[in-house]
A and B are shown apart, each in its own frame.
Chain A
Amino acid sequence: MSFNLFAAEEEALAKARALEARLGALAPECLPEFRDLIAAFELSTREQQRLVRVSDRLQAQLSDANHELDRQRSEAEEALDNLREAQEAMVQSEKLASLGALVAGVAHEINTPVGIAVSCASHLADATQAMRRRADGGSLGKAEFDRYLATAIDTTDLILGNCERAAQLIAGFKQVAVDRASAVRRTVNLAAYIQDTLVSLQPKFRPSGHAVAVYCPTDLELDSYPGVLSQILSNLVMNALTHAFADGQAGGMAITVDSPDADTVRMCFADNGRGMSEEHSARVFEPFFTTRRGRGGSGLGLHIVHNLVVGVLMGSITVCSAPDLGTSFTLQFPRRTPDRDLPVETLTK
């Protein structure tokens, strides 16, 4: 027996038709009206069947739409995952690029003392060669020997001074590079570390006449991640150099450090450049936000700064800027970075 959704209606109709036959015999004058009633009931049943189909169709459409929605949502989620991966890859390559810039900066910086040392040494070699010829010829006079001594003292002083300068630069850079690469926690003198970092950046700002003034208590020691600090500083400086100053304008930057209390460091990085609108300053820390898309801006520099300050130094960063009034970033973080469960490597990676 097949299932019939409208069995009851059909049964009622069968009864009505039986009744119609009896009514024809008993009260024939009622028959036309009764037949109208049956017709109306039949119509109503058919309409009911149609409405059920309409309703089922709507339900099916709803279900299709829901499936489509599910599919689109999982597609969107997948796209978001891909985007996150791409973002991580870009953050990584941005960091490598900034390390590359650091290396180039230091190489440039070391070039000067090494160059001076080489030419002094070469001058000394020439003078010594001349002395030997005179001595061999037996014609060396006292005045000449005195001049040679003076030259030797001057040049060896210069060679020594410049080699020491180079060694100092290399030591500073080595520390910065190791810190950057390994994210090691250690105690560091903040003022000295700021200087070490700025040295590597000097070739970037000195040719255009830009200058960075540092106001930092010389006895302020941090127990933190200096590599992270160095990355933060160079990103801030590079950001200012890229955006703050008009071509040919010699800009000024200042790093001012103080301690609102014994356990907190406040570092303000300010420039006197062109500043930016409220709309832009509200978005500077967003990943990929850049006003220089297609002109070398990745939109990640300040995003990385924000992540490092908040994620590694466990501090905060705010920006204050207005058109033509310069820009300042204020970082506040614990002097001694609190211990954490997560290894810092995963945060700086």
Chain B
Amino acid sequence: MNVRAEQHDMDCLTIPATGRTPGVSFDFGSGHLRMTGESYPDDVASFFGPVFEALRCFLNNPEGGPIRFDMELLYFNSSSAKALMNIFQMLETVARGGRSVTLTWCVEENDDSMRELGEDFAEDLRHVVFEMREMPAGGSQ
């Protein structure tokens, strides 16, 4: 599992971004989770598998505090989109259970279609607080 140089312990999951896979930085201690870059992995299961595993572990912990999820992907393919929707459902489930969850959908300025996708994706979120944030275009982090 360590082939992608990911670090996974109880407190965080960090996977550096590659050309095809996003950067993941889940700081479970502070409840700040973040995905950046672009996502069109060759093998969705082998990339998102460990991500979901760690996330499920974190969300199942009943003593968890508030969660802040920053979705900063600039580009993703259809399978990644389905994976994101699954993550949103997992967040919605814990939010319904009373945990504070804020999801920030970050779009580059002028990327109207990405903004519409975000609004679309937020359609099923009732308990998660959904925010839209603009980033300067081309400002990769």
Contacts and interface: CB of A to CB of B under 8 A. Distances in A.
Interface stretch (B1-9, B44-52, B74-82, B132-140): B74-82
A43 B124 CA distance: 8
> Do most interface residues of chain B lie in helix, strand or loop, or is the interface mixed?
helix
B113 A57 contact: yes
Contacts of A123: none
Contact of B85 (A50, A57, A60, A61): A50
Nearest to B113: A57
B117 A54 contact: yes
B85 A47 contact: yes
Interface residues of A, number: 12
A53 interface: yes
B82 A55 contact: no
Contacts of B75: 61
B120 interface: yes
Nearest to A47: B85
B123 interface: yes
Contacts of A171: none
Contact of A46 (B76, B78, B124): B124
Contacts of B113: 57, 60
A57 B124 contact: no
A135 interface: no
A160 interface: no
A58 interface: yes
Contacts of A54: 76-78, 81, 117
Interface residues of B, number: 15
A53 B120 contact: yes
A13 to B, nearest CB: 16
Nearest to B89: A43
A47 B113 CA distance: 17
B69 interface: no
Nearest to A43: B124
A46 B119 CA distance: 13
A16 B30 CA distance: 44
Contacts of B77: 54, 58
B121 interface: yes
12 contacts: A46-B124, A47-B85, A50-B85, A50-B117, A50-B121, A51-B78, A53-B116, A54-B76, A54-B78, A54-B81, A54-B117, A61-B75
Interface of A: 43, 46-47, 50-51, 53-55, 57-58, 60-61
The 5 closest A-B pairs by CB, nearest first: A54-B81, A55-B78, A50-B120, A57-B113, A47-B85
